[in-house]
Chains A and B, each alone.
Chain A
Amino acid sequence: SQTIHQWPATLVQPVGSPLSLECTVEGTSNPNLYWYRQAAGRGLQLLFYSVGIGQISSEVPQNLSASRPQDRQFILSSKKLLLSDSGFYLCAWAGQRPTVETQYFGPGTRLLVL
C-alpha cells in the first residue's frame, strides 16, 4: 500500500531564516505531487504541483519554491522566511492520468515563523 511521509511535524523558525520541508511517498511510481498551505481560517491553497522529476508548476507567486529531485520526493523551500509563511503545509500524491485521480494527503507540517 502507499504511504506518504512529511517532516518535520512541527517547526518554529525566525523571520529571515531558510526553510526546507520534505515529503516522500512509498509504494507507488511516477505520482503527481502537490504542496498545499492551510493558513488560519482553514482554507487550503495549492502552492505547487509536479508531474515528474524536475517538473514544477507554481500556482501562486510567493516567497517559496519547490523541487522534485527524485520520483517520490518533493521539497518545499524558502531562502528567507516571512511572518506570512506561517501555516500548516500539506503534501499530497495522486496517481497519474488518464483520469483525475484522488489525492491522498500526508500528516502535514506546522510552521510558525516568529
Chain B
Amino acid sequence: AQKVTQAQTEISVVEKEDVTLDCVYETRDTTYYLFWYKQPPSGELVFLIRRNSFDEQNEISGRYSWNFQKSTSSFNFTITASQVVDSAVYFCALSEDGAGGTSYGKLTFGQGTILTVHP
C-alpha cells in the first residue's frame, strides 16, 4: 500500500530564511507520480508541482525548488528567501499508476506541514 510521511508537523521561520519541507513516500509500483500542493488559509488546494518516477531531475521555479531522490524515497521542497505569503499548509501526495492504469489517479496525501513565516 502507498504511504506518504511528512514528519514536520509545524515549521516557523523568519522572513528571508530558507526552509525545507520533507516528504518521504512508500510504494511498490515502479511507475508513480509525486505532487506538492499548497493550502493557504482560504482552504483551496493549489497545485505546485508534479513529478513522475522516471524523472529525477531537480526542479526550480522562482524561489521554489524540489529535490527528488528515489534512493531515499524522498521528494523534498525548499523555499528560498521565504516570505509571509508563503505561510500555509503544504501537502505532499503520491499516486501510483497501478497495473494497467487501474489507480485512476487516486492521491494519497501526507498529513501536511504548517509553515508560518514571521515578518
Contact = CB atoms under 8 A, between A and B. Distances in A.
A57 B104 CA distance: 10
A100 B97 contact: yes
Interface range on chain A (Cβ under 8 Å from partner):
20 to 34
Given A42-B89, A49-B104, A59-B106, A105 B44 contact: yes
Contact of A107 (B42, B105, B108): B42
B95 interface: yes
Interface string B84-110: 000001010001010001011111111
B43 A100 contact: no
A32 interface: yes
A1 interface: no
B104 A43 contact: no
Contacts of B45: 44, 90, 92, 105
Contact of B105 (A41, A43, A45, A94): A94
B64 interface: no
Interface residues of B, number: 28
B106 A46 contact: yes
A44 B107 CA distance: 9
30 contacts: A32-B105, A34-B107, A42-B112, A42-B114, A43-B110, A43-B111, A44-B91, A44-B107, A46-B106, A46-B107, A49-B104, A49-B106, A57-B104, A59-B106, A90-B45, A94-B105, A97-B101, A98-B101, A100-B32, A101-B105, A102-B35, A102-B47, A103-B47, A104-B47, A105-B37, A105-B46, A105-B47, A106-B44, A107-B42, A107-B43
Interface of B: 32-33, 35, 37, 42-47, 50, 52, 89, 91, 95, 97, 101, 103-112, 114
Top 5 A-B pairs, shortest CB-CB distance: A105-B45, A42-B112, A44-B109, A100-B105, A100-B33
Given A42-B89, A105-B44, A107-B42, 7 more contacts: A42-B112, A43-B109, A49-B104, A97-B101, A100-B95, A100-B105, A103-B107
